[in-house]
Amino acid sequence: MVRILAFFVGLGFVAALIFSIIVTPFASTEESVTEEFHKQPKTLALASDGPFGRYDKQQLQRGMQVYNEVCSACHSLNLVNFYSLEGLGYNEAQIKAYAASHEVPGLDPDTGEPTTRPGLPSDHFPAPYANEIAARSANNNALPPDLSLITKAREGGAPYVYSLLTGYTAVPADLPAENRPGTGLHYNPYFANLNLAMAPPLTSEGQVTYAPGNPKPTVDQMAKDVSAFLVWTAEPKLESRHAIGWAALAFLLIFTVLTYLSYRQIWAEKKGK
Ligand code: HEC
């Protein structure tokens, strides 16, 4: 009896498997349309790529400027505090001044009422909205995600962010009506469902003014710089991780040689006999 039951349970599983294999390709035509128009991220070469990667501090500083002047209007950077900006090559006085140029939430010491005060190096970047409800109501009910970890959180990482920022195009003529952007949405083939609620944030050359000696602030350059900066926010310790990795490998190499030599030493006598 149990055997027969087991046989039917197994048969059920096999039937479900066959059903899913046959049915999946036809499951939803919408999927295949978005897949057809969806593009893979463009290539983006950053100094921090690869096992020898180090940050280009000049680029990170430019990227922070783009975040500060453009993206921070809608996106928070909740996990980054000002004093970690020394990783971008700023000194203590610069960090203090930079923190103080931001208003952060605080409490009035006399009344205990909520108020704002100039930032300190120990503060985090202040969020643009008080909470999710305020953020959504200002953005057509879409939520601008926190950008601290976005290059880790999204498949494609920094190249994806770069492609998204530079990838807005006109809606293709052959795009089916149900995939066309509705009100408040913008067509971008690098976004998984093709239409996103963020209007193109970088639109014109010179939107941000870089200090002399830096490349021209073209849309492409600003997008690259802010993507590089968001790699740093997601992993500020990347350089020391790389350095520790190489030191560990060097140690293992030396240790292997030592072990081999001591093996030879120990067995030399025995083998001789
Ligand atoms: C006017 C507000 C606004 C500005 C300015 C803005 N964004 Fe956005 N952003 C949004 C909104 C809203 C979303 C959510 C879009 C959605 O889910 O459809 C978003 C989403 C994103 C996403 C996530 C996309 C995904 O895969 O989910 C990234 C990355 C991003 N923005 C980066 C940036 C960067 C970098 C800047 C600065 C150059 C910037 N944004 C400026 C409103 C803004």
Query: Cα of 228 to ligand 1 centre, how many Å?
Result: 16
Asked if residue 219 has its Cβ within 6 Å of ligand 1, the reply is: no
Query: Cα of 118 to ligand 1 centre, how many Å?
Result: 26
Dihedral sign computed on CA atoms, order 39, 44, 50, 56: negative
Burial status of residue 86 (CB atoms within 10 A of its CB: 0-12, 13-18, 19 or more): middle
Whole-number pLDDT of residue 28: 59
Atom of ligand 1 nearest to the CA of 71: 37
Asked if residue 234 has its Cβ within 6 Å of ligand 1, the reply is: no
Report the top-level CATH class of 29-80+124-236: mainly alpha
CB of 104 closer than 8 Å to CB of 116: yes
For 21-30, the CB contacts below 8 A with 24+ separation are 30/178, 30/179
Asked if residue 100 has its Cβ within 6 Å of ligand 1, the reply is: no
Q: Of 163, 167, 162, give the one whose Cα is nearest residue 229.
A: 162
Spans of all domains in the chain:
29-80+124-236, 240-273
Residues 6 or more apart in contact with residue 98 via CB below 8 angstroms? 82, 85, 90
Whole-number pLDDT of residue 34: 83
The CA dihedral of 105, 129, 131, 135, to the nearest 10 degrees, is: 180
Instruction: For residues 87 and 208, give the distance between their C-alpha atoms in angstroms, rounded to a whole number.
Output: 22
Instruction: For residues 166 and 223, give the distance between their C-alpha atoms in angstroms, rounded to a whole number.
Output: 7
Instruction: For residues 159 and 155, give the distance between their C-alpha atoms in angstroms, rounded to a whole number.
Output: 9
Whole-number pLDDT of residue 210: 97
Structure tokens at 149: 């970890």
Q: Of 125, 77, 134, 81, give the one whose Cα is nearest residue 102.
A: 125
Query: Cα of 4 to ligand 1 centre, how many Å?
Result: 57
Among 75, 163, 202, which residue has the most ligand 1 atoms within 8 Å of its CB, making it the best to mutate?
Answer: 75
Q: Of 221, 87, 230, 71, give the one whose Cα is nearest residue 158.
A: 230
Instruction: For residues 253 and 260, give the distance between their C-alpha atoms in angstroms, rounded to a whole number.
Output: 11
Neighbours of 42 (CB within 10 A): 14
Asked if residue 228 has its Cβ within 6 Å of ligand 1, the reply is: no
Dihedral sign computed on CA atoms, order 171, 176, 177, 179: negative
Per-10-residue mean pLDDT for the chain, 273 residues long?
A: 89 91 68 84 95 95 97 96 95 96 92 94 95 94 96 96 97 92 93 94 96 96 98 96 96 97 89 64
Instruction: For residues 116 and 102, give the distance between their C-alpha atoms in angstroms, rounded to a whole number.
Output: 10
CB of 107 closer than 8 Å to CB of 115: yes
Neighbours of 89 (CB within 10 A): 12
Residue with the two structure tokens 């499951």: 27
